[in-house]
Structure 1
Amino acid sequence: MTGLGKAGPPGDPTATRVALVSQFFPPEPVPIPLSLAHCLRRQGFVVDALTGVPNYPTGTVHPGYSHRRRAIDGVDGIRVLRTPLHPSHDRSAVGRAANYLSWATSSTLLGSPLLRTADVALVYSSPATAAAAAMAARLRWGIPYVLMVMDLWPDSVFATGFLTRGVTRRMAEGTLRRFTDLTYRWAAHVTVPSPGLRDTVVARGVPAEKVSVVYNWADEKLMQPTEPDPRFRSRLGLTPDDFVVMYGGNHGPAQDLGVAVEAMGHLRDLPDVHLVLVGDGVSRPALRARAEELGLRTVHFVDPIAAQQMAATMAAADIQLVCLADQPLFQITMPSKVQTIFACGQPVLSCAPGEAARAVRDAGAGLTSPPGDPRRLAETIRLARAIPRAELRAMGQAGLDHYRALMSEEANAHVLADLLTGAAANSRRRRHVTREQR
């Protein structure tokens, strides 16, 4: 840190207080907000979290919570205020809209005990409506906020298959664009997780000096090079000599994992090549049905695995798949999966457009295949299978080196800290000047 504002040791009453605003937070399997909180605490900030009642990714409220009531609890020593919402995470546009808007409303109305005592808010802007409470705090108490743009709205809403046509889409798109532009304009600063997204945000009218790239780093305590789970392959009936392509994460429309399943249909002559899909999501039933329809015994579905075991699970595979739909939005999207794989020292097979593929190429961390093309993906898997495992491991090491230099917490945390302390200090100066003028 360069000391633009005030941060100090934990318990220091003069330390900068940060309200982390994120609709999603553990026990939901969304590691980035908690990682941000830990990072800021290590740098001397006092951090509280404003979030929703946990219901992601299934739309079912986690045990011990009610979607109707506000609750206060703690996660790893962080005070967490949870406000009500409509639980939903299915493919219903109405349900998803109700989920986002209900939390935007409840966090704005019920989040004041946390926000009004903060020096600055940090908004994890996914969805964009998560900024509503911080915007209200800016109006009511002059609390500045730094906006972390995780995905581009309203583009990402429609890229995932919601409201694809008609008058409803046009109305929603116009409203969301105006709201999103306002979140940028009112923010003290905007961060984005990729250079391509920065260019797009600047092109939409945000001053270039107000936008910084802050990569999403992995949970480095958990996601690091490790020995493979010795039982993982045997549980699936796989041998040490089988070539395993693994995908771990959400199974949704944006991930377009049907391309990977279809690619396996072009590899029937290689019975030692296996695709392992770890995780869950709205597309999983259709993916399983398609694999059964094609008679693919080389496609395996594994239920979500605890984060503590994920690095060892990944190490049991030969190469990690990053898959995204061939959408213009994903040209500028850097999925956090890339950083996680790099941090674990694993080679990457990218079947994604834009930033994800570029990162793999720049790092020399694996192979790339055009998105949305099962035949080309199958060809690339053939190439990967033919590469000696020592060379694959070298690719994984190259990704790890790239991660440490550009994407790690060490490389990015001080940038975020300076933005927060700077926003808080500028706000204090403005309030002081206003009081003197009065």
Structure 2
Amino acid sequence: MGGSMGNRSGVPARRLVLVSTNYAPERAGIGPYAAQLAEHWAARDDLDVHVLAGMPHYPAWRTDPAYRGSWRVTEDRAGVRVHRRRHTVPARQSALRRALYEASILGHGLLAPPRTGGAPDIVVAQLPSLAGGVLAARMARAARAPFIPVVQDLMGAAAAQSGIRGGDRAAALAASVERRVLASATLVGVIHESFVERVTALGVPRSRVRTVPNWSHIAGPTRPRAETRARLGWAEDETVVLHSGNMGLKQGLEVLVETARLETTLRVVLMGDGNQRRQLAALAASLPNATLMPPAPEAEFPDVLAAADVLAVTQRASVLDMSVPSKLTSYFAAGRPVIASVAEGGGTAEELRRAGAALLVPPEDPRALADGVRALAADPAHATALGETGRAYATERLGSAAGLARLTALLDEALDEAPTRPTAARRNASGPRGARV
């Protein structure tokens, strides 16, 4: 890890704080991106990188056993100093439970800021965490440092379309908080062009928005498909439809269970965890061709994806947000065709059309989903072409080197635009600022 005492060039390192509720060892969602980004920046000789994170809990929405009972944890991971704070973890989603989740993150972050050795020179936040955004904005304002929120999703839009009780009121409150957080930003990163309009509608000038797409953070498969299928108990002559990732309300995974009910020749596999897992397991209990499995170990994950015949992404019909599921980068890297049961005008459909790797069908329509899978199974040449097109898209557009370079350019631009200030090391040398941000 870089240090504020200096580096090989003799220039004091600048202190960077990344606020991301989700972080490694989480293997799904935002966590892997936050970790790879922080580790990439920590490898630079001129940065001293700290992360303020929650306790690992996603996508199971249960605190990782290794962290249970801990209020505060400070650990070094791959050159990054990670400061974790305990928070509530709602097993079921509602507007009130989500509010308590965010409030506990905010409260503990304010009560016990990370000990970073001095004030930050730049602060970055991963949204949609409202609490994380507020904490990061406060840190940056107190230190008169540049602030960059990276928008992976917007909580206001997500709450409005979540279907959870009290979602409308939660959406209005979330949008108000997001407006304040984004207004204080030096620059705003968005992971997809479809977010630009939403962000500018919240008052951010277009000139301050930069598109910084996510990247494929997993390696390609390494084992023969037949070997992995045999290990998983998938017969060579059956068509396997696999969904990987969060099992939440937004995904509307009931459509896949109903697809299995309609087409008994298909094997439908739901791999992952989330607050709807128990309900989905009950729905699938009487279906021998619908199974739930836990998230695959990191080393096996690419092989499991590649062993499926079709990879599924689903969303409820009411979901027309501009977010793009993080699973898509992994799906593309696996080289398998994607079937998408999503709204025609959303960000997911737009990204899949751009990649040319998917068959799109109407959301919450099990018959359309079943017919689409059967069409892909009946035309293996077309299915193979879709998978290869997705893999090529991931290689050319979603490589980790390019993705990390875009975010690093965003970081450097914000630092270059910031008023000239002494670095953290020089400020510390000139007088006490206090150990806490």
Does TM, scored on the shorter chain, surpass 0.5? yes
After TM superposition, give the deviation of residue 188 of structure 1 in Å: 1.0
**Alpha-carbon contact 1:193-1:213 (below 8 Å) kept:** yes
In structure 2, what is the Cα distance between the partners aligned to 1:246 and 1:59?
Answer: 21
Provide Cα deviations, 1:50-109, integer angstroms capped at 9, x if missing partner.
112233334433334355622211222321111232233422433332221111122233
Question: How many aligned positions are there?
Answer: 413
Which residue pairs with 2:433 in the alignment?
Answer: none
Which among 291, 300, 317 is matched to residue 284 of structure 2? 291
The answer for the alignment partner of 1:5 in structure 2 is none
Q: Structure 1 stretches of 5 or more lacking a match? A: 1-7
Residues 242 and 66 of structure 1, relative CA distance in 2, 3 Å threshold: closer
Please say if residues 405 and 411 of structure 1, whose CA atoms lie closer than 8 Å, have aligned partners that are also in contact: no
Question: CA offsets per residue over residues 161-206 of structure 1, 9 Å max, x none?
Answer: 33346xxx43x44332221101110011111111111122123321
- Greater shift, 186-195 or 417-426, is seen at 417-426
Question: Which residue of structure 2 lines up, in the alignment, with residue 32 of structure 1?
Answer: 33
Give, in angstroms, the shift of residue 227 of structure 1.
2.8
- Contact 2:216/2:394 (CA < 8 Å) preserved in 1? no
- TM-score, scaled to structure 1: 0.86
Distance in 2 (alpha carbons) for counterparts of 1:369 and 1:12: 58
Structure 1 runs of 4+ aligned residues shifted over 6 Å read 8-12
1:359 to 328, 351, 364: 351
The answer on whether the counterparts of 2:245 and 2:271 sit within 8 Å (CA) in structure 1 is yes
Q: How does 1:204-283 map to 2 (within 5 A)?
A: 204-219=202-217, 222-228=218-224, 230-268=226-264, 271=265, 273-283=266-276
Partner of 2:49, secondary structure, is strand
The AA in structure 2 aligned to 1:394 is: A
Quote how far apart the aligned CAs of 1:307 are: 1.9
In the other structure, the counterpart of 1:335 is 325
Q: In the aligned structure 2, how far is the partner of 1:59 from the partner of 1:259? A: 22
CA 246–58 in structure 1, closer or farther in 2 if over 3 Å, else same: closer
Give the direction of change, closer, same or farther, for the CA distance of 1:365–1:12 in structure 2 (3 Å limit): farther
Change (3 A) 1:26 1:411: closer
Shift of residue 419, structure 1, vs aligned partner: 1.7
Measured on the aligned residues, the alpha-carbon RMSD in Å equals 2.6
Letter in 2 for 1:35: Q
Q: In 2 relative to 1, CA 375–164 (structure 1 residues): closer, same or farther, beyond 3 Å?
A: farther
Q: Which residue in 2 is equivalent to 1:379?
A: 371
The aligned runs of 1:38-437 (5 Å cut-off) are 38-44=39-45, 45-66=47-68, 69-114=71-116, 116-164=118-166, 169-170=168-169, 172-219=170-217, 222-228=218-224, 230-268=226-264, 271=265, 273-292=266-285, 295-330=286-321, 332-353=322-343, 354-388=346-380, 390-429=381-420
CA distance in 2 between partners of 1:399 and 1:10 (Å): 42
CA distance in 2, matches of 1:427, 1:63: 42
Matched residue type, 2:240? V
Q: How many angstroms apart in 1 are the aligned matches of 2:8 and 2:181?
A: 31
Q: 2:12 aligns with which of 11, 14, 21?
A: 14
Give the match's secondary structure for 2:241. strand
Whole-Å separation in 1 of the counterparts to 2:57 and 2:354: 37
Q: Distance in 2 between matches of 1:216 and 1:162?
A: 27
Shift of 1:401: 1.7
The 8 Å contact of residues 210 and 410 in structure 2, kept in 1 or not, is answered as no
- Higher mean C-alpha deviation, range 346-355 or range 86-95: 86-95
Q: Matched residues in 2 for 1:115 and 1:204: separation?
A: 34
CA separation in 2, counterparts of 1:150 and 1:316?
Answer: 29
1:318 Cα offset (Å): 1.1
Alignment-mate amino acid for residue 405 of structure 1: E
Q: What is the CA-CA distance between 1:381 and the residue it aligns to?
A: 1.0
In structure 2, relative to structure 1, the CA distance for the partners of 1:19 and 1:381 (3 Å cut) is same
Q: Is the 8 A contact 2:357 2:386 kept in 1?
A: yes
Aligned to 1:23: 21
Q: 223-232 or 378-387: which moved more?
A: 223-232
Mapped partners of 2:81, 2:50: distance in 1: 5
What's the offset of the Cα at 1:251? 0.9
Contact 1:81 1:114 in 2 (8 A): no
Distance between the aligned counterparts of 1:194 and 1:73, measured in 2? 32
Instruction: Please state how far the C-alpha of 1:231 moved relative to its aligned partner.
Output: 4.9
Query: How many percent identity over aligned positions?
Result: 30
Q: Tell me which residue corresponds to 1:4.
A: none
* Residues 1:190 and 1:237: Cα distance change in structure 2 (over 3 Å): same
Q: Distance in 2 between matches of 1:207 and 1:141?
A: 23
Counterparts in 2 of 1:176 and 1:400: CA distance versus 1, 3 Å = same
Distance 1:88 1:254 in 2: 16
For residue 328 of structure 1, report the CA deviation from its aligned partner.
4.3
Local SS of the residue matching 1:71: strand
What are the Cα deviations for residues 285-333 of structure 1, in whole angstroms up to 9, with x where unaligned? 22222223xx422112111211221001111111211112223443x12
Q: Which residue in the other structure is 2:430 paired with?
A: none
**Deviation at 1:115?**
8.4
Q: Greater helix share, 1 or 2? A: 1
TM-score by length of 2: 0.86
State the AA in 2 paired with 1:351: S
Give the secondary-structure state (helix, strand or coil) at the position aligned to 1:308.
coil
